Structure formats: C-alpha cells, structure tokens
C-alpha cells in the first residue's frame, strides 16, 4: 500500500492593530492584488478597552468592507489593572508596591535622574490575548503544542522603515516550533509607513487613526494636544491614569505619562511655534517606541 502523506492544515491570521500599517494589510487582503498578502482566515484585534473612539469607529468601518472576519479579544481593561496596581491576571508586586505595566517615565527625586519603566502592557494586553485566541480557535489548550499537521501563519503590520521592531519580533518567534511562523508582508514588499498612507488615501474615506491607548506615554506633544482638544473623555481618562501612576510609596511613586516628568494636566504641550522655537525634537519620536508591532499599527 502506498504511503499517504499527511495533509497540513494552513491558517493565516493578521495581528490587527487597526492603525495605518495593519489596516493597509487588511484591505490588501480584500483586494487580492499583492502576492505577499494572503486572504486571512481572521484578523485579530486585541482590545485594551482604552483606545480612542476613532479607533473603534474605524474597526466598525473595516467590518463593513466584506473582508476576513475581524475578531475582538481582550485581557480586560488596562486602566482598571493600572488602578489596582496589578497585571492582567490580577497579580500584585511581591514587595507590595503599586505595579504599573505601561512604560511611564520616572523621576528620582534625590538625583533628578529620569528613566522609563519596563513595558509589560504589550505582552499582557496585546500579544497574549491574540495568541490565546488563536490557540482557542484551533482547539489547542494552553501549554500544549500546535499539532504537527497544522501550520499557523501570523502576519504583523511592520513596515520597511521599522527594522528594529521586525528583528525583535523575529527573535521572539525563534523559540516557537517551526509550524508557528511569523510574516512581515510590508517589509517583504519594502513598503514604508508613508507608502501605506498613500495606499489608504484611495481606499479609506478618512485619515486612519493611530491605534494606541489614550494614556500611552509614547505620545508626542501634538498627540497629547489633539487628545485634549478633541476627545474630552479620553483626556480625562489620561489625566486620571497619570495620577494613578504616582500611587505608592518611596522613589517608585514618581511616575508620569509625559516625558517632562510633571503631571499631565500641568505639562507644557504647546506646539513648537508656541514655545518660541524652544521645542525639542521629541516630535520625531514615537513610532519606534511603539509596542512590538501591536500598538499603533
């Protein structure tokens, strides 16, 4: 009897951040014109429940385009975990301190040295919920390997101008079995963020919003000012979380959302022209600081 080779089941999932790059990939999947972009089985959006309204409205629009199903999954409300001082699983710090998982800026009151907290929110509220949904969708229990007759293809919206982020994600996937693979179609096509924006101008009837929590510390002053002036609820939430960051005792309590290390409500977020030419180049920062291809894509 001839040996029959096992049929491998292939699954293609997009990490949908709902920002510029992943939106471009999602719509390219619908259009079917790019050989590097397959028809996805699903686009998975990990919801921190703290995005601005414009992002949720954009997701609603995407769902009406007749493309691959968009799945919204969540590990809970990030701001609530910050308020409790725990991670996504409700775990507190072993020393009893108030745990903050976002990359808040820090100020040592004795030395005036500034720093930044290690970012854990991406792993807890973006990476893990997506991967847990994929496992659940395939019927694979937590801690168990994906069956050998199944290959998972996970697609990230990282563009050609983000080499460091591509490298970081590739390094993380090196520990994965060979049948769980990561792909970067925009990188392969040498699409930069600007190319994605050009593509979207003819595809989306509005400017695609940047996907990030309303209190993400990686905002520029322009973005903080836009939030304050255009999203009253979002600004109020950001100010609230900024105050939460300074709960606790000792040196560890000096934490801020704004890079100037002053309370957000008091931070100078005027435009560079309003600062009479005394602004810094901080407006150039941001995208390279985003969250491993999940936030802001």
Calculate Rg over the CA atoms of the chain: 21
How confident is the model at residue 170, as a pLDDT? Answer: 95
In a domain, 170, yes or no: yes
Give pLDDT tens digits along the chain (297 positions): 455 556 779 999 999 999 999 999 999 999 999 999 999 999 999 999 999 999 999 999 999 999 999 999 999 999 999 999 998 999 888 877 889 999 999 999 888 999 999 999 999 999 999 999 999 999 998 889 999 999 999 999 999 999 999 999 999 999 999 999 999 999 999 999 999 999 999 999 999 998 999 999 999 999 999 999 999 999 999 999 999 999 876 556 689 999 999 999 999 999 888 876 554 444 444 444 455 555 645
pLDDT the model gives residue 117: 93
Quick check: helix, strand or coil at residue 189?
coil
- Domain contains 73: yes
How confident is the model at residue 93, as a pLDDT? 84
Q: Identify the pLDDT of residue 4.
A: 52
Angle subtended at Cα 289 by Cα 160 and Cα 228, rounded to the nearest 5 degrees: 115
Question: How many residues in total does the chain contain?
Answer: 297
Domain count for the chain: 1
CATH number where 171 lies: 3.40.50
- The verdict on residue 35 lying in a domain is yes
Q: Are 213 and 202 in contact (CB under 8 A)?
A: no
Across the chain, how many H-helices and E-strands are there?
10, 8
Domain that holds residue 105: 9-112+120-213
Strands 105-107 and 150-155: unpaired
Identify whether 205 is part of a domain: yes
User: 14 has which bridge partners?
Assistant: 43, 155
Query: Residue 291: what pLDDT?
Result: 56
């Amino acid at each position: 009897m001839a040996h029959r080779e096992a049929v491998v089941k292939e699954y293609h999932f997009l990490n949908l951040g709902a920002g510029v790059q992943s939106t471009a990939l999602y719509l390219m999947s619908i259009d079917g014109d790019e050989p590097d972009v397959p028809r996805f089985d699903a686009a998975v959006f990990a919801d921190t429940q703290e995005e601005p309204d414009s992002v949720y409205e954009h997701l609603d629009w995407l769902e009406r385009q007749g493309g691959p199903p968009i799945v919204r999954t969540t590990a809970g409300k990030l701001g609530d975990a910050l308020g409790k001082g725990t991670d996504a699983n409700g775990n507190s710090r072993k020393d009893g301190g108030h745990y903050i998982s976002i990359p808040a800026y820090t100020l040592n009151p004795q030395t005036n040295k500034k720093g930044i907290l290690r970012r854990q929110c991406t792993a807890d509220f973006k990476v893990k919920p997506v991967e847990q949904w994929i496992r659940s969708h395939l019927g694979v229990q937590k801690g168990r390997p994906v069956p050998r007759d199944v290959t998972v293809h996970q697609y990230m919206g990282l563009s050609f101008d983000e080499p460091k982020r591509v490298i970081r994600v590739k390094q993380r996937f090196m520990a994965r079995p060979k049948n769980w693979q990561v792909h970067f179609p925009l990188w392969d096509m040498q699409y930069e963020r600007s190319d994605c924006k050009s593509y979207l101008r003819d595809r989306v009837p509005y400017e695609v919003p940047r996907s990030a929590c309303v209190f993400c510390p990686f905002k520029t002053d322009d973005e903080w000012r836009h939030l304050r002036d255009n999203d009253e609820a979002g600004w109020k939430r950001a100010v609230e979380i900024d105050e939460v960051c300074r709960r606790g005792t000792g040196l560890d309590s000096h934490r801020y959302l704004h890079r100037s290390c002053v309370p957000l409500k008091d931070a100078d977020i005027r435009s560079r022209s309003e600062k009479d030419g005394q602004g810094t180049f901080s407006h150039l920062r941001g995208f390279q600081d985003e969250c491993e291809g999940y936030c802001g894509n």
